[in-house]
Amino acid sequence: MSTADIQLDRQGRLLHFLTVEGLSHRHLTEILDTAESLRGVAERRVKKLPTLHGKTVVNLFFEASTRTRTTFELAAKRLSADVLTLNIAQSSTVKGETLLDTLQNIEAMQCDMFVVRHQQSGAAEFIARRVKPHIAVLNAGDGRHAHPTQGMLDAFTIRRHKPDFRNLEVAIVGDILHSRVARSLIHALNILGAADIRVVAPRTLLPIDVENLGVRVFLDPREGLRGVDAVVMLRLQKERMEGALLPTEQEFFRRYGLTEERLALAKPDAIVMHPGPINRGVEIDSRVADGPRSVILEQVTNGIAVRMAIMSITLGNHARPAGENA
């Protein structure tokens, strides 16, 4: 059974959210449209909806996180769910308890959703294959494989500024090789029909056969950034690098860092994005990160709405009897 088969029920409804790959235009549009309807909740006096009242969401983060963990927690709380965030460093995993034993113990507490971040690719799928049928699993990042909610919030942010994907040109710049964010965003943009997706990086930071993902490869940022509608900068993931893939951070910035001069090659109304955390002076100049074309903080805000949407859709589909359509 493929990952796509696990994610969907027999009617093609989303039960888990493990990867963008293999989903349809309809699935992604449902998430984006639902997120749009939920974005205004943050502007209300009472920032709450009763959607997940009585449900329990468990955050299982085996890797460090700031934005993803806190926005997932806030998203669940704004939908009125009870939220349990497990501190892995202080859990029984440090005493030798296996991942499966940890899950089964938490499952026995009658939880409804697991939000999982893990350093191993495929961890979220491993969990989704083994949980009880009523539990939804959301992938908050697994190794170098996927970060589907980040890919969707990036697509959502782009759509709010550039709604016509048919003419959209996007450049994704930096550490493509180690970036689960890049993979998820590339899949999302292709499914949504983006006209031109470019990856811009030195050869050492590009996966083998990256063109098979449906992108155009540029080694020269001057060519890769020319005329694009959106520039997505990526963090250099030094913790995943093996060997000397870069001369120095300073050399990377000199050749690939997003400066005002390089941004001028893009369209005049191009937006600048970064999934965070930002390494200023390595991937991006502070004048660009804090400039008028930056939507980096808007991405964080949008992440709450997108994660609210995915939580409400998946748990809503779990609650709906088989054969019943929305």
Query: What is the pLDDT, as a whole number, of residue 238?
Result: 63
Q: Backbone phi, then psi, for 272, in 5-degree steps? A: -115, 130
Residue 23 shares a structural domain with residue 71: yes
In a domain? residue 52: yes
Q: What is the SS3 assignment for 276?
A: coil
Residue 14 shares a structural domain with residue 97: yes
In a domain? residue 230: yes
Q: Is the pLDDT of residue 321 over 70?
A: no
Q: Is the dihedral of CA 280, 284, 289, 294 positive or negative?
A: negative
Residue 190 shares a structural domain with residue 265: yes
Residue 291 shares a structural domain with residue 153: yes
Residue 191 shares a structural domain with residue 239: yes
pLDDT, tens digit (0-9, with 9 covering 90-100), for 42-55? 889 899 999 999 99
Q: What CATH number did the domain enclosing 266 receive?
A: 3.40.50.1370
CA 289 to chain centre: 20
Strand 56-61 and strand 82-87: pairing?
parallel
pTM for the full predicted model = 0.93
Q: Could you tell me the pLDDT band of residue 245, with boundaries at 50, 70 and 90?
A: low
Residue 119 shares a structural domain with residue 180: no
What's 26-67 look like in SS3? HHHHHHHHHHHHHHHHHHCCCCCCCCCCCCEEEEEECCCCCH
Residue 33 shares a structural domain with residue 140: yes
Tokens matching residue 131: 């949980």
Residue 222 shares a structural domain with residue 138: no
pLDDT, tens digit (0-9, with 9 covering 90-100), for 259-313? 999 999 999 999 999 999 999 999 999 999 999 999 999 999 999 999 999 999 9
In a domain? residue 201: yes
Q: Could you tell me the pLDDT band of residue 63, with boundaries at 50, 70 and 90?
A: confident
Residue 15 shares a structural domain with residue 48: yes
Euclidean distance between CA atoms 170 and 186, whole angstroms: 10
Euclidean distance between CA atoms 138 and 58, whole angstroms: 10
Tokens matching residue 16: 């888990």
Query: What is the pLDDT, as a whole number, of residue 66?
Result: 86
Euclidean distance between CA atoms 200 and 169, whole angstroms: 13
What lies within 8 Å, CB to CB, of 124 at 6+ separation is 16, 18, 116, 118, 137, 138, 139, 140, 142
Which residues form the domain of 139? 3-146+301-319
Query: What is the pLDDT, as a whole number, of residue 5?
Result: 79
Q: What is the SS3 assignment for 190?
A: helix
State the total domains in the chain.
2
In a domain? residue 325: no
Integer distance in angstroms from the first to the last C-alpha of the chain?
25
